[in-house]
A and B are shown apart, each in its own frame.
Chain A
Amino acid sequence: MPLPAETDVTTPKYLRDKYAIVGVGETTYTRGSDKTTRALGTWALRNAIADAGLKASDIDGMLSYSGNDSTSATFMAGDIGTRLNFYMDCIGGGSSTEALIGIAIGVMEAGLCKCVAIFRAMNGFSQVRIGGTGARSAAPVNGDMLHNRAYGWQSAGQMFSPTFMRHMHDYGTKPEQVAMVKVVHSEHASNNPKAYYKKRYTVDDVLSSRIICKPLHLLDCCVETDNATAIIITSAQRAKDLKHTAPLIRGIVGRCSKPRMDMHYQHGPISRVGGYYAKDILWPNAGVGPEDVDATGAYDAFTFTSMLQLEDYGFCKKGEGGDYVSSGITRLGGRRPNNTSGGHLCEGYTHGMNMVIENVRQLRHDVDDSCPIGPDGKRQHTYDYREGGCRQVKGIEVTANLGWANPMTTSAMVMRRGG
């Protein structure tokens, strides 16, 4: 029988709320782990399995992503003590987490396995530096790379800057507005005992830090850390028997891209990012819109990346991202806090997974801040967001994670509180 002429290849709507993230885990966020990525990955996976209340042997699917700077599922499966029915190790950095969750749902729906662990293990400071210094910067320049690396156009900051700069030109976005992304995320990190950098910064601190490549100051850039992170996904039905009230996955998009992926700057406007296309898949799949979201996890490889994604996913009008991120909306206590863990700018760099982990904990209403633990073993959240205090978002029901690979490619996921 011939296929219908038009096939909707996006997530069928009936998968809404059918899968859940049942466990999350991470290692300590460090600079200098003194461990292999294999040891880090095992550590994070064990934590996620324990968090879910599962046995290692319950994990029968595994996905990972890396830029050839990590270990693979083939080592992890044995090291945690399980046998896999499905695994895949993918190439990728930011935007991989949400896209792999989509793949995990797909393979479970297709009957290939029943419970998938996704991990990212990296020594982003002590081995393959995420800022691009070290061995990668001195590698030979061959073929297509002559169009970029021969011009000293290699690191993420260098590659993305023409987008950031053009946004300032087109919309009058000001450095002090964008700096507020770092200020706000540093406030959140100060209430996160796990964050590598807990210090609160001011707009002046950001603008007086040294220029890396215009328009980026040192404090506009994410941190480089060594760590592993892991999450576990299974059916919502099975999640009911597990430890937590697991957040349910409403909808996913990824890796959705602008045209001309070989060199996306050929297609304008260049101040537009992948979210412009992704929003039309994400929101209909999730059955909610930006106005329904209580907290965002907008990927902060740089201050600018959070802002651009919030804009193109529709949390504000195009060009008004500078106003949005400096308005107080994205702050704990504001209408829609962003990256409540401190994100990549402060907590640690994981290529997106720590922002999903944070929103899972937020939706459990059990974020791991310094609030006192009550007689029932649960944290008694104070909702006092002063330094060192609470970071639980009050009454949170819906979150959105907006993942970023680069200006052209994005993935995203909407979750809602379970139960």
Chain B
Amino acid sequence: MSVQGEYMGMNLTVDDLDHENVDYFRYCAAHDFHLQKCDECSLLRYPPTTGCPWCSSPKSTWTKVEGKGAVHSYSEVHHAIQPAFKGKTPYMILLVDLDTQKGQPTPDEALRVVANLAMPDGQLAPPELVKQVGIGTRLRMVFADVGPGLAIPQWTIDETAAQPEKPWRYPQE
């Protein structure tokens, strides 16, 4: 048995024995973002792991985390590799610094959560929206439902946040 579902024509599966990912995606399916918080050093980590990258403790507790942050870097794909994305170009791959735990435990570290630029309903954003987003853009997390026990986080523009006047974008449009 495994958790599975079809997403944009891709078959996504998480094996039952992959407890860390099963737990992570079960929270996502409830549209509730949780990360593992180390029981020893209290640092959150992303993506799911079997031990703490800072103190090596194997013990952690799933903890609710606010899905808000700003774009740290990105790519904008114009030539898709995977068949599922062929009709979806240009699409954005966003590396987003969560506000939670930013600059910890060292100034250059952050919980950098990867997802695409999406609409509030979790569907991939159209080209006109892609052009508005760059490094510094404030985003909030939404979810794309895949199947029972499985949804994946996505990022959408945070309509309530103060946005940078001109987010940094690659100079050639």
A residues with CB within 8 A of B:
131-133, 137-138, 140-144, 146-155, 157-158, 161-163, 165-166, 168-169, 174-175, 207, 210-215, 259-260, 262-263, 265-270
Contacts and interface: CB of A to CB of B under 8 A. Distances in A.
A50 to B, nearest CB: 39
A151 B81 contact: no
A269 B110 CA distance: 10
A131 B79 CA distance: 11
Contacts of A213: 75-79, 93
Given A162-B73, A175-B171, A263-B112, 8 more contacts: A141-B10, A143-B13, A143-B21, A152-B116, A157-B75, A165-B75, A168-B170, A214-B75
Contact of A266 (B85, B109, B115, B170): B109
Contacts of A211: 76, 78-79, 172
Nearest to A174: B171
Given A141-B12, A152-B93, A161 B112 contact: no
**Could you tell me the dominant secondary structure of chain A's interface residues?**
mixed
Nearest to A165: B73
B26 interface: no
Contacts of B49: 262
Nearest to A151: B116
Measured as residues with beta carbon below 8 angstroms from the partner, the interface class of chain B is: 35 or more
29 contacts: A140-B11, A140-B13, A141-B10, A143-B18, A147-B47, A151-B116, A152-B82, A153-B93, A155-B81, A157-B75, A158-B81, A161-B74, A162-B72, A162-B75, A162-B95, A165-B74, A166-B73, A166-B135, A175-B170, A175-B172, A211-B172, A212-B77, A214-B74, A265-B112, A265-B114, A267-B109, A268-B108, A269-B108, A270-B73
A266 B75 contact: no
A162 B115 CA distance: 12
Contacts of A166: 72-73, 135
Contacts of A132: 81
A413 B10 CA distance: 41
Given A143-B14, A259-B53, A265-B95, A212 B73 contact: no
Nearest to A218: B79
A129 to B, nearest CB: 9
Given A143-B18, A150-B10, A263 B46 contact: yes
B102 to A, nearest CB: 11
Nearest to A267: B109
Nearest to B171: A175
Nearest 7 pairs of A and B residues by beta carbon: A268-B108, A161-B75, A162-B73, A152-B85, A166-B73, A214-B76, A213-B77
Interface string B61-105: 000000000001111111111111100100101010000000000
Nearest to B91: A152
Nearest to B144: A150
